[in-house]
Amino acid sequence: MPVYIALLRGINIGPHKRMKMEKLRASCEGLGLSNVKTYIQSGNVIFRAEKLSSAILSKQLGECIVRDFGFSADVISRTRDEMKRIIDENPFTKDPGLDASKLRVVFLPHAPAETALKKLQDLTLAPDRAHPSANEIYFYFPNGVSGSSLWKHPLDKVLSVAGTMRNWNTINKLYEMARDLE
């Protein structure tokens, strides 16, 4: 059975959409997912499942969250191999002296329109950098996310696609956990 990583958007931020990871793991197991593990409280789930498309798997998990928690949360899923590709293809990690703690990736359910990507590039001001790739966008924010040129421009509106952002450490940890599910 393939290994997947599901990324939940907008949970456990502030007083709304609160969920305990123990209950999330139990909900996932109730769907028939196996070897379910979570990482930190922001909705990162690693598991084995029958081979499904990421879109179908994300839809099933989203429906499960509504049923078991009483609210909706966007879910974006990737296979272990896709996560490895995302790590390997990060264009910014090849820059010497780069501070990896300032790297972010936005995971999207599908690629945004070219006009949205052009708008993103126009709004991304130096020293910030953005690089779209398939269903992800890589970012380097040397002054942090809240000090970035994009801070006042919600990416959902800029891209017309709702995504979820993870830092580089979390992405690598999720892949490591997925790799260890042998």
Q: How far is 68 from 52, CA to CA, in rounded Å? A: 22
pTM of the complete model beyond 0.75: yes
- For 88-178, CATH number out of 3.30.1490, 3.30.200, 3.30.70, 2.60.40 equals 3.30.70
Tens digit of each residue's pLDDT (9 = 90 or more) over 114-150: 999 999 999 999 999 999 998 999 999 999 999 999 9
**Beta-bridge partners for 165:** 106
Is pLDDT of 14 > 80?
A: no
- What stretch(es) of the chain map to CATH 3.30.70.1280? 3-83
Nearest to 84 by CA among 181, 164, 176: 176
Contact 9, 163 (CB under 8 A): yes
- Confidence at residue 182, expressed as pLDDT on a 0 to 100 scale: 67
**Architecture in CATH of 3-83:** 2-Layer Sandwich (3.30)
